[in-house]
């Protein structure tokens, strides 16, 4: 069964005071492209996370958002540049002495100086937190797959119906094509007789030759045979358990080429109208195929 390339997946996992949320959004793309946004301390996990996702996603652009909350997510510590602090202190005491100022050294003000007092975040990640992120990511992928499969089923039903419609129109063309030659012969005979006004006999052999030339020039049996083959292949591929989007896209191009050839050969209103129907349905199939993995 085919699978859609679009979908959404989400997973929320907890471990003590830590909470990990992983969200994934997938859209159409020719290849597999994975973009991950996550806290800086987890950058080292990017390759591992992409390998987990690519085990399940073969085509499509996937945007991944990883958020962490909780007390144990980031370890922070207060840092003080004591050398710079003492320089401030010594400079202040000199200035106070020169100006005969009795004011004490304003330590509380230096606490607000970012060049002296700062907060440092540790990049260390515990093994439990690492496993929690990996587990939540795989769970989110499974959630994404569930939605892609559901949409894939809807795509399958729609494409199957449209392919069956094209098959019916192709059958109509095959049945009607011989009548075009007969109608052409009748029209040609009538016009020749009108032109000769009964003064001369119509050369039957020459008439048959002319009709044969016309039949060969505007024959569409080969194109209909190829269309029939492509439609059968299309239905067969729809039932494969594989990544089939590119195969279906190729068949759509081939079907479009054969349909255009029939349209260029068509010298009959009924055939032209059926070709218009075929091309209209084929365009809808092409749009749907762009979403198949």
The domain in which residue 162 lies consists of 153-289
| Cα–Cα dist 286/230, whole Å | 14
pLDDT at residue 70, rounded to an integer:
76
Residue 208 has pLDDT above 70, yes or no: no
CATH number at residue 32: 3.30.230.40
Instruction: Please state, in angstroms and rounded to a whole number, the distance separating the CA atoms of residues 31 and 229.
Output: 28
pLDDT of residue 118: 77
Q: Are residues 20 and 117 in the same domain?
A: no
| pLDDT per residue as tens digits for the range 107-154 | 777 777 777 877 666 556 788 889 999 999 999 999 999 999 999 999
Residue 246 maps to a domain: yes
101 or 3, which is more confident? 3
Work out the pLDDT band at 98, boundaries 50, 70, 90.
Answer: confident
pLDDT at 52: 96
The answer on 112 and 196 residing in a single domain is no
Domain match, 130 and 218 both: no
The answer as to whether 213 is a domain residue is: yes
Q: Which two tokens stand for residue 80?
A: 């003080």
- E runs forming strands in the chain: 7-15, 18-27, 32-37, 60-69, 76-80, 117-121
Number of domains observed in the structure of the chain: 3
Using the predicted structure, report yes or no on whether residue 165 has a pLDDT greater than 60: yes
257 & 190 share domain:
yes
**pLDDT tens readout for residues 47-69:** 999 999 999 999 999 999 999 88
Task: Assess whether 181 and 269 both reside in one domain.
Answer: yes
Same domain, 161 and 113: no
Question: Is residue 31 located within the same domain as residue 97?
Answer: no
Whether 15 and 44 share a structural domain: yes
- pTM as predicted: 0.72
Tokens 């003590």 correspond to 16
Mean pLDDT of 262-266: 79
For residues 170 and 55, state if they share a domain.
no
pLDDT band at 16 (very low <50, low <70, confident <90, very high): confident
The reply to whether 1 falls in a domain is no
Same domain, 11 and 144: yes
What is d(CA 55, CA 163) in angstroms, rounded to the nearest whole number?
31
Decide the pairing of beta strands 60-69 and 32-37: parallel
> How far apart are alpha carbons 170 and 274 in whole angstroms?
8
- CA pair distance 267, 177, nearest whole angstrom: 10
One domain, residues 21 and 63: yes
* Domain identity same for 177 and 212: yes
């Amino acid at each position: 069964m085919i699978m859609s390339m679009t979908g959404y997946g989400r997973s929320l996992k907890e471990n003590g005071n830590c909470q990990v949320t992983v969200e994934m959004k997938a859209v159409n793309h020719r290849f597999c492209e994975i973009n991950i946004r996550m806290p800086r301390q987890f950058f080292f996990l990017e390759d591992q996370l992409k390998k987990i996702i690519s085990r399940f996603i073969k085509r499509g652009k996937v945007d991944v958002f990883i958020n962490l909350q909780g007390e144990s997510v980031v370890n922070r510590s207060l840092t003080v540049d004591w050398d710079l602090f003492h320089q401030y202190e010594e400079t202040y005491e000199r200035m106070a002495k020169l100006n005969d100022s009795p004011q004490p050294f304003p330590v509380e003000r230096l606490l607000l100086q970012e060049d002296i007092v700062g907060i440092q975040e540790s990049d260390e990640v515990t093994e439990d937190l690492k496993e929690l992120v990996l587990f939540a990511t795989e769970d989110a992928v499974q959630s994404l797959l569930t939605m892609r499969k559901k949409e894939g089923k809807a795509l399958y039903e729609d494409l199957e119906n449209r392919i069956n419609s094209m098959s019916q129109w192709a059958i109509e063309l095959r049945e009607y094509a011989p009548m075009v030659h007969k109608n052409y012969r009748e029209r040609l005979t009538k016009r020749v007789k009108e032109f000769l006004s009964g003064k001369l006999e119509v050369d039957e052999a020459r008439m048959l030759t002319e009709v044969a030339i016309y039949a060969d020039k505007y024959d569409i049996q080969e194109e209909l045979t190829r269309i029939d083959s492509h439609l059968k292949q299309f239905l067969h591929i729809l039932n494969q358990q594989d990544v089939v989007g590119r195969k279906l896209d190729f068949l759509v191009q081939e079907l479009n080429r054969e349909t255009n050839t029939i349209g260029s050969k068509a010298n009959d209103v009924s055939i032209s109208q059926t070709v218009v129907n075929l091309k209209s349905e084929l365009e809808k199939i092409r749009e749907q195929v762009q979403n198949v993995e």
